[in-house]
Structure 1
Amino acid sequence: MKLQFLTPLYAHPGPIASVYLDTSRDLEDADRALELRWRTLRKRLLAHDTDPATVEAIDDAVGSDREVAGPHGRAVFAAHGELVLAERLPEPPARDTAQYGMLPDTLPLALQHTPDIPYAVVILHRVHVTEHTTPHAAGHAADHGGSYEELEIDCESGRWPTSRVAPGTRFHRSIPVDGWPKELEELVGELVAGMDSAGTEMVVLAGDPWAVNSLIRAAPSRLHGALVKLKDGQHRRREPGRALLEEELAILLDGRLSDRDRHQTDTFLVQRARHPEYVEGLAAAVAALQRGQAQTLILTRPARLDRHLWVGTAPVHLALTGEELSAFGLQYYWEEPAPGAALIRAAAGTQAELVSVPDEELPLEDGVAVVLRYTGA
């Protein structure tokens, strides 16, 4: 997964406030619960010398996702009185946190973005329309003996899992069933374009069997491997702010790596077989990130990073000890208590990608590894 979405955070010099908050709407009196949780974090930030203007900037963003139904969270970052980044989290944070330090606490946010699988959903439903249904339908119904059938088309693209609470492009169309052949051609073209531009890896189809099957037949062969037809064709109620077919997508995509992430882990296994000391463990990861040599940072879930690192003002100013940075000639550096924040900043600053894998699937020394762009002599 690429980390460009974090770029705004590193364009601002620290200190910066990082807040992770459960903003779920599936609780009784959710607004009151959110107010109490944020009040606790607010006091914590002020107690750690966060300037009031920065706290106020976070204040304005904390409850701005009230339109999203169900369980979710919020990650908010602010510095020098300005909001820098605010993101919806598909899962509530394990606990509410508020930190104020030189580096933004980006590890929880980055992990909630993985594996970042691009997909599309297409739902096709046939409905019976009469001249009494809507004024718009009256004329068409009159031409068809008082009633006719329409096909309702719902399409949505997204990147899993963030699209659970931040869906991508969505459109809804209703057409007479006899207009489906023309619409079908356009829809297939859009799906192919999405595969080419966004790298869509899965297209989930649901609804009327006749319409779904005709779409599958019309799709070019290179799209067939991405098509997944759901057996259940019942109409699904759309939850506010949530992804279409969220439950079905969770079954299909949770625990799965993107195609690119799978390729990266395969490359790591090859490199580890040859030179494990260069690619596995915290020391190897730090050394590779220092040199801009890491193509990909691999972290296990749950993260097991418990050793402080030393950092400077640049992303590549990263070391296991302060003496190492001093030997590089740095005059200003500090001990960073959040090693995950230091690793993510180094990865983002050197255009390295992030892959997150369950610990039981790929046990790693220190819970961290890298894929190298190149190997030295």
Structure 2
Amino acid sequence: MRLSFLEPLYTESGPFASVYLDTSRDIEHPDRAIALRWRRLREDLTRQGADRAVLGVLEKAVGADAELPGVHGQAIFAANGSLVMEGELPRPPARDSARYSTLPDAMPLVSQHLPEIPYLAVVVHYGGLPTATAHGWVTVEAESGTWPASNVAPGERLHHRVPVATWHQSAVRLGHRLDAWVRRTHGDTVVVAGDEWAGNVLVRRLPHALRDKVVRVGGPTPTDTGRALLEPQLDTVFRGRLAAHDQDLVNVFIGRRALDGPVTEGLAATVAALQRSQVAALLLNHPPGSSLRLWTGPQPAQLALTDEELVSFGVRAPREESADDALVRALVGTAAELVVVPEYALKLDEGVGALLRYTHPWTPP
């Protein structure tokens, strides 16, 4: 998973206010519930030392996703009296939280983007007889996205309607159009639902490479909910999977490790590689959480297990931070990727490892 979407967070200096709250609209009087949640978080931030300017910016942003229906959440970051980043969460946070700290609390936002699987959802509607002489129309709705974030931030949508009498010929042209779309968006999977006969016609006329990516699903197929097309089916198809790109990185790690290639495992060795901007992709069995701490300096690659180590590198006044915060900043600042892979698929020493960009000797400054 690439973390470039977090770059705006690190253009500001801290301290940062990081807010996660449930802004779901599936309850009675949602605005009242959101206001109550925010009031508790505001009091918490005030106790942590957040100033009025930051609190005012956050208050304006809370609930700004009111047009989004259903269950979801909101992540908001502010610093120096300015809104730094705001985004919708496909799931409400496990609990509302607010933190005022030197580094932004970004790992919960990253976790809500995982596993970041690019896909194309296709719904084929037709209610008539499956013959070329029948009257009526075949309607196709298609939408690209990256699961699960696209549940609340759907991508580009296509609406295609053709007479049923020409559906066999039109399906060929549409198939090539969908194939070009999937190539452009690097889609892993094409999820197809709707009428069985019309859907079969389309799938059989897709280019072979695209046909191999098709997953057929059933269930309700509403197209005007304001949420991702086929949202419930996407959850069933993708939960527990890695994106194809991330699975490739895991396979490369396994192959390199077997040959003593350019990889590292264990917290100390991986932190040392991050110090050198040597990490191409960080692999975790699970995010470290707030209990594990690292020492940091003002630059992304300035992180260590002890403050003495950073001082020896010339860092003045190192700060102890959550390992989650330090690792995310280091990954964004060094353009490294993140893969969270379950232990049953790849057990890592101390739950952490890395694919390396290079392995030649390095001496700290």
Task: Report Cα offsets for 1:97-141 as digits up to 9, x if no partner.
Answer: 11112211111111111111110011111146xxxxxxxxxxxxx
Please tell me the residue identity of whatever aligns with 2:83: L
Within the alignment, does 1:227 sit opposite 2:211 as a pair? no
Within the alignment, does 1:170 sit opposite 2:154 as a pair? no
Which of residues 340, 348, 352 in structure 2 aligns to 1:364? 348
Which of residues 315, 319, 325 in structure 2 aligns to 1:330? 315
Conserved 8 A contact 2:117-2:242: yes
Normalised TM-score (structure 1): 0.88
Which of residues 203, 210, 215 in structure 2 aligns to 1:216? 203
Deviation for aligned residue 1:245:
1.2
| Residue equivalent to 1:27 | 27
Which residues of 2 match residues 143-162 of structure 1 at below 5 A?
Answer: 148-162=135-149
Greater alpha carbon shift after TM alignment, 271-280 vs 188-197: 271-280
Give, in whole Å, the separation in 2 of the partners of 1:276 and 1:39.
Answer: 52
Within the alignment, does 1:82 sit opposite 2:82 as a pair? yes
Match of 2:227, SS state, is: coil
Deviation for aligned residue 1:322:
1.1
Please tell me the residue identity of whatever aligns with 1:247: P
Match of 2:38, SS state, is: helix
Conserved 8 A contact 1:158-1:169: yes
| Residue equivalent to 2:190 | 203
Please tell me the residue identity of whatever aligns with 1:354: L
| Residue equivalent to 1:353 | 337
Runs of 5+ unmatched residues, structure 2: none
Match of 1:26, SS state, is: coil
| Residue equivalent to 1:264 | 249
RMSD: 2.3
| Residue equivalent to 2:305 | 320
Match of 1:228, SS state, is: strand
Deviation for aligned residue 1:191:
1.8
| Residue equivalent to 1:248 | 233
Runs of 5+ unmatched residues, structure 1: 129-143
Please tell me the residue identity of whatever aligns with 2:143: E
Deviation for aligned residue 1:238:
4.2
Residue identity over aligned pairs, in percent, reads 46
Match of 1:358, SS state, is: coil
Give, in whole Å, the separation in 2 of the partners of 1:15 and 1:179.
Answer: 62
Conserved 8 A contact 1:90-1:161: yes
| Residue equivalent to 2:177 | 190
How many residue pairs match? The answer is 357
Task: Report Cα offsets for 1:288-340 as digits up to 9, x if no partner.
Answer: 1111111111222364562211111111111111111111112243111x210
Change (3 A) 1:39 1:221: same
Conserved 8 A contact 2:191-2:216: yes
